[in-house]
Chains A and B, each alone.
Chain A
Amino acid sequence: MKIETTLSGSFPKLPLEPGAPNVRVIRNRMDQGKATQEELADATRETTKRILALQEGAGVDIPVDGQVAWDDAQTYLARGVPGFTIAGLIRYLDTNTYYRQPEITGPVSWKHPVTAEDFKAAQSMAHRPLKAVLPGPYSLYRFSRDLHYKDVNEGLRAVGEAVSREAKALEDAGALGLDLVEAPESWDLIPEVPAGKTVALGLVDARNTKLEDPARVAEGVRKARSMRSDLSWQLCPTASLEYLPVDRAAMKVARLTEAARLAS
């Protein structure tokens, strides 16, 4: 039985080849007043194209757009939803990276799609259906600072409503699969998943450059299958690959699809 491979969220934005379109360079030049918004849009599109081609080349079944325009997993959506403001730098999970913390400073009220146009643009460049990725309501709420709602459940409900309307907008834009990125799963949870669900197995470490042996990853897939025959499985990295150097991220994608071939 074939196991499908997918990635989660963002991918390194830098090119492998020197001289290729590079959003980092363009942003630096914009800061000095030497590049335009259009040049950034061009570089963003070219980078997205490159990330899509890399996944297609490696044989990823359900590719993602790489979130090239996103600063991090939370603020891109939060910036576009009234009720949120963006505050100071906070460390992001267990990475040596920081994000600007969204603050809820008023009623969270979704007004218009934030990510749908980007999704359509990326889908038009891809040869197979892409997965759309949004922060899960729980994560978005947890990574934000609630200065408005008196009650956690009330705040969570409002954020949940905004995420679900954004998800609907993505569906209207043609997205078939949607990942709401929440806290990582673990082996211990597998027995508790309701029958018939699809579980994404994060068996390639997104936080370390050490390359996995595809045969061992395939063993992990077999182990999961032997635990539950009433679930469907996908194979993916443990998190977004953005915090790896681009060369290693590309090698990890190749190992991932190789492992899926061995396990199928």
Chain B
Amino acid sequence: MPRGLWTTTVGSFPKPPHLERARNRFARGEISEAELRQLEREATIEVIRSQEEIGLDILVDGELYRGDMTTYFAELMDGFEISNPVRSYGNRYYRKPVATGRVRRTRPWTVDWWKFAQSQTKKPVKGMLTGPYTMMDWSFNEHYPSREALAMDLAEAIREEAMALAEAGAKFIQVDEPAISVRPEELKLAVKALGRAVEGVKAKTITHICYGDFDVIYPALLDLPVDMIDLEMANSRYDLLDRFRQHRFTKEIGYGVLDVHSHRIETKEEIKQGILRGLELLRPEQMYIDPDCGLKTRTVEEAKEKLAVMVAAVREVREERGITA
């Protein structure tokens, strides 16, 4: 019997409203760090339970203790300062890292959170990091002579963390590179930096990419030195499959079937159709089924409902096709 179609998520889960309020209160100095951490731990336990209830195969810690996906790491490193808020889009703003010296990892960033999350479940929990190319592209650089120099120092630091996660027992380590698809002329640099970040890491390595112009970077994307590439399939209405038809997708794939930017809950039937279309071109053991991107922009309820439909759809496809987990 073929195995495959394992279910997982891309990383972030929505922060429950009471945790958002607590983060704001912490920022204003109204509660202590210890109080915030306690609430984050409780919310993380809740996210792990929720993923088990839904029946996902590979879990995440939900990243409830992180704000922005670059700033969180930069704040823990030497060599970065954090800017005043910069507009991202619409009315969204974020504080952007500024490299003002040599960037270095001087302490673990996520290992304790990973251990804590893993201690709550028997299912595997993924280690979740942001990649060197994206960290570089989304930071200001006042120190390094080139983009490459900053990216490669970041790669060293990220590799140390990935090694520490593998050492702690993480079987899956995802190093996200959402920025990779924007400057096709820098794909080589991105491949080199990500390659260094996961070099010698004894775990299944994954990278997530989004918002891209895939006409330009596919199939060169397959050069990324990881075991699995996680892609948004649903929000381009599975258009990427046409490219896979022209050039076979050779790695394992995180196959996104939920549009995370839409409030609408997908139907089981449309998700099944999306998976079945994928199975025309991909082997089940190549496919991990997940949402298009992190779920942090949805509400807690929307995220649960979307994932529950996804898992139900995968179960039916497995049954119909005689595939086991």
Q: Which of A28, A71, A91 contacts B211 (CB 8 A)?
A: A91
| A166, B89: Cα distance in complex, Å | 25
B322, CB-defined interface residue at 8 Å: no
B83, CB-defined interface residue at 8 Å: yes
Count the A-B residue pairs with Cβ separation under 8 angstroms: how many?
60
List 4 tightest A-B contacts by C-beta distance, closest first: A245-B84, A98-B89, A209-B140, A210-B142
Query: Is there an interface contact between A13 and B88, defined as CB atoms closer than 8 Å?
Result: no
B90, CB-defined interface residue at 8 Å: yes
Query: Is there an interface contact between B89 and A72, defined as CB atoms closer than 8 Å?
Result: yes
Query: Is there an interface contact between B89 and A248, defined as CB atoms closer than 8 Å?
Result: no
Known A14-B85, A210-B140; judge A245-B91 contact (CB<8 A).
no
Interface residues in B169-189 (C-beta closer than 8 Å to A): 179, 182-183
- Which of B86, B90, B96, B98 is most buried by chain A, counting CB atoms within 10 A of its CB? B86
Interface residues in B124-160 (C-beta closer than 8 Å to A): 137-138, 140-142
Query: Is there an interface contact between A242 and B87, defined as CB atoms closer than 8 Å?
Result: yes
Known A91-B182, A96-B179, A209-B142; judge A244-B86 contact (CB<8 A).
yes
- Which of A13, A89, A94, A210 is most buried by chain B, counting CB atoms within 10 A of its CB? A210
- What are 14 sample pairs from A and B whose C-beta atoms fall under 8 A apart? A13-B87, A14-B85, A24-B91, A24-B93, A71-B90, A72-B89, A89-B261, A94-B182, A96-B138, A98-B211, A209-B98, A210-B140, A210-B141, A243-B86
Interface range for A:
20 to 34
Q: Which residues of B contact A89 (CB under 8 A)?
A: 89, 211, 261
Query: Is there an interface contact between B211 and A12, defined as CB atoms closer than 8 Å?
Result: no
| A88, B89: Cα distance in complex, Å | 12
Chain B residues with a Cβ under 8 A of chain A = 83-91, 93, 96, 98, 137-138, 140-142, 179, 182-183, 211, 261
Query: Is there an interface contact between B87 and A12, defined as CB atoms closer than 8 Å?
Result: yes
Q: Which residues of A contact B90 (CB under 8 A)?
A: 71
A247, CB-defined interface residue at 8 Å: yes
| A200, B23: Cα distance in complex, Å | 45
Chain A residues with a Cβ under 8 A of chain B = 12-14, 24, 27-28, 31, 71-72, 88-92, 94, 96-99, 208-210, 242-248
Q: Which residues of A contact B96 (CB under 8 A)?
A: 96, 245
| A210, B182: Cα distance in complex, Å | 23
| A91, B87: Cα distance in complex, Å | 13
Q: Which residues of B contact A88 (CB under 8 A)?
A: 261
Name the residue on A nearest B141 (C-beta): A208
Name the residue on B nearest A72 (C-beta): B89
Q: Which residues of B contact A91 (CB under 8 A)?
A: 182, 211
Q: Which residues of B contact A96 (CB under 8 A)?
A: 88, 96, 137-138, 179
Extra inter-chain contacts (7) besides given A96-B88, A96-B138, CB under 8 Å: A12-B86, A13-B87, A99-B89, A209-B83, A246-B84, A248-B83, A248-B84
Query: Is there an interface contact between B89 and A97, defined as CB atoms closer than 8 Å?
Result: yes
Name the residue on B nearest A23 (C-beta): B91
| A89, B210: Cα distance in complex, Å | 12
Q: Which of B98, B183, B261 contacts A94 (CB 8 A)?
A: B183
Q: Which of B138, B142, B261 contacts A208 (CB 8 A)?
A: B142
Name the residue on B nearest A247 (C-beta): B84
Q: Which residues of A contact B140 (CB under 8 A)?
A: 208-210
Query: Is there an interface contact between B142 and A14, defined as CB atoms closer than 8 Å?
Result: no
> Closest approach, in angstroms, between the C-beta of B5 and any C-beta of chain A?
28
| A13, B83: Cα distance in complex, Å | 15
Q: Which of A90, A243, A247 contacts B87 (CB 8 A)?
A: A243
Query: Is there an interface contact between A245 and B86, defined as CB atoms closer than 8 Å?
Result: yes
Q: Which residues of B contact A14 (CB under 8 A)?
A: 84-85, 87, 93
